Structure formats: structure tokens, C-alpha cells
């Protein structure tokens, strides 16, 4: 790695950790995942903070990188299998609170990726809120991120759950 590319990597790293704010809304720790080079879909996760005294709601998302971008959640069916489904009404971001989009839970879904995404790519996504309006965020592709300790996990991912602390 040359000095110059190292500096670029540093710049990208600090860009990725920037928190976006608009009308009292903050987006923290946003990242996007796909299931690899051939993936035609991906999902983005983040924490949306609402520092106002009124509830807001994320109602849609869009991006040039995919044919369709939807708000999804996971639900367990009668057989205990996790399934994804679209949530057309979106997710409430409570007043003076936060809503986490996380693995195994609510997420922003990208369907029909127009080109493969690689680790380190940065995707521009427009999030639209009922009150705060449209907000453009830069979301880094992070294929190495492990699910956070305590994140919801479905039957597909039982390994190690509750067996040890990572810190
Ligand atoms: Cu999904």
C-alpha cells in the first residue's frame, strides 16, 4: 500500500464514520452488506436517532445502485424460520429516541443490484422521512462486519449464541 492509498483509505474511513444530521435526525454506524461478488441483492443497517420531541418515520429509501430499494423486516414463521417481508409503512423513529436497523431485524433492502459491490465501496442512498424529508447518506460496503453482540439472531445463526462474551 502506498502512502497515497493509505491516506485515501484513512480519508474513506473517516468519511464512513461521519454521522449525518438533518432536522434533528442522525444516522450512525451505517453499513451495507451483500452475500458476495455475485450477489444481486444487499441490505443496509444503521442506527437512526431522533433528537426532536416528535416521532418521525422512515417511509422509503432509494439508490441508483439497485432496481428497487425497500424497507424490510424479518419475521419468524410458524416453523421458526426467519422470513423477510416488506414494510410499506416504514419504521417509526421515536421522539428523543432511536431505531436500529440491524441484522435479523429491520433493514433497507436493495433488490436487483446493477453492478457487483465490493468491500469498501461507498453507496449513495436517499432516505425519506415523513417529517424530516429526504436525506442523502453515504453508506460503506462492509463485508467483514460481524453481527453485534446481542443482535437478534434466527435459527440460521445459532452458533456461539450466548456462549461467550466477546469483550
Ligand atoms: Cu430484506
Average confidence score pLDDT of the chain:
83
Residue 34 inside a domain? The answer is yes
Distance from the alpha carbon of residue 67 to the mean position of ligand 1, in angstroms: 14
Residue 10 inside a domain? The answer is no
Q: Are strands 41-50 and 25-34 parallel, antiparallel or unpaired?
A: antiparallel
pLDDT tens track for 19-32: 566 668 999 999 99
CATH number at residue 135: 2.60.40.1890
pLDDT tens track for 56-87: 999 999 999 999 999 999 998 899 998 999 99
Buried b or exposed e, range 109-134, using 16+ CB within 10 angstroms: bbeebeeebeeebebebebebeebee
The structural domain count of the chain equals 1
Distance from the alpha carbon of residue 52 to the mean position of ligand 1, in angstroms: 28
What is the helix (H) or strand (E) element at residue 134, kind and residue range? strand 133-140
**Amino acid 161: pLDDT:** 37
Residue 167's pLDDT band (cuts 50, 70, 90): very low
Residue 15 inside a domain? The answer is no
Residue 7 inside a domain? The answer is no
Residue 152 inside a domain? The answer is no
Q: Point out which residues pair with 127 in neighbouring strands.
A: 61, 135
Domain that holds residue 104: 20-140
Residue 145 inside a domain? The answer is no
Distance from the alpha carbon of residue 147 to the mean position of ligand 1, in angstroms: 16
Contact call for residues 74 and 43 (beta carbons, < 8 A): no
pLDDT tens track for 96-154: 999 999 999 999 999 999 998 999 999 999 999 999 999 999 999 999 988 765 454 44
Which grid cell is 155?
Answer: 435459527
Residue 150 inside a domain? The answer is no
Distance from the alpha carbon of residue 73 to the mean position of ligand 1, in angstroms: 6
Q: What is the pTM of this model?
A: 0.76
Residue 118 inside a domain? The answer is yes
Distance from the alpha carbon of residue 61 to the mean position of ligand 1, in angstroms: 13
Distance from the alpha carbon of residue 131 to the mean position of ligand 1, in angstroms: 24
Amino acid at each position: 500500500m502506498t502512502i497515497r492509498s493509505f491516506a485515501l483509505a484513512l480519508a474513506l474511513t473517516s468519511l464512513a464514520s461521519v454521522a449525518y444530521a438533518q432536522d434533528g435526525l442522525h444516522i450512525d454506524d451505517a453499513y451495507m452488506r451483500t452475500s458476495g461478488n455475485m450477489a444481486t441483492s444487499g441490505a443496509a443497517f444503521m442506527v437512526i436517532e431522533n433528537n426532536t420531541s416528535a416521532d418521525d418515520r422512515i417511509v422509503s429509501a432509494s439508490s441508483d445502485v439497485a432496481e428497487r430499494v425497500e424497507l424490510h423486516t424479518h419475521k419468524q414463521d410458524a416453523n421458526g424460520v426467519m422470513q423477510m417481508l416488506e414494510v410499506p409503512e416504514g419504521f417509526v423513529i421515536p421522539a428523543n429516541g432511536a431505531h436500529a436497523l440491524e441484522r435479523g431485524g429491520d433493514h433497507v433492502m436493495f433488490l436487483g443490484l446493477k453492478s457487483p459491490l465490493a468491500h469498501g465501496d461507498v453507496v449513495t442512498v436517499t432516505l425519506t422521512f415523513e417529517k424530516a424529508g429526504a436525506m442523502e447518506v453515504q453508506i460503506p460496503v462492509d463485508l467483514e462486519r460481524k453481527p453485534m453482540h446481542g443482535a437478534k439472531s434466527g435459527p440460521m445463526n445459532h452458533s456461539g449464541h450466548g456462549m461467550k462474551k466477546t469483550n
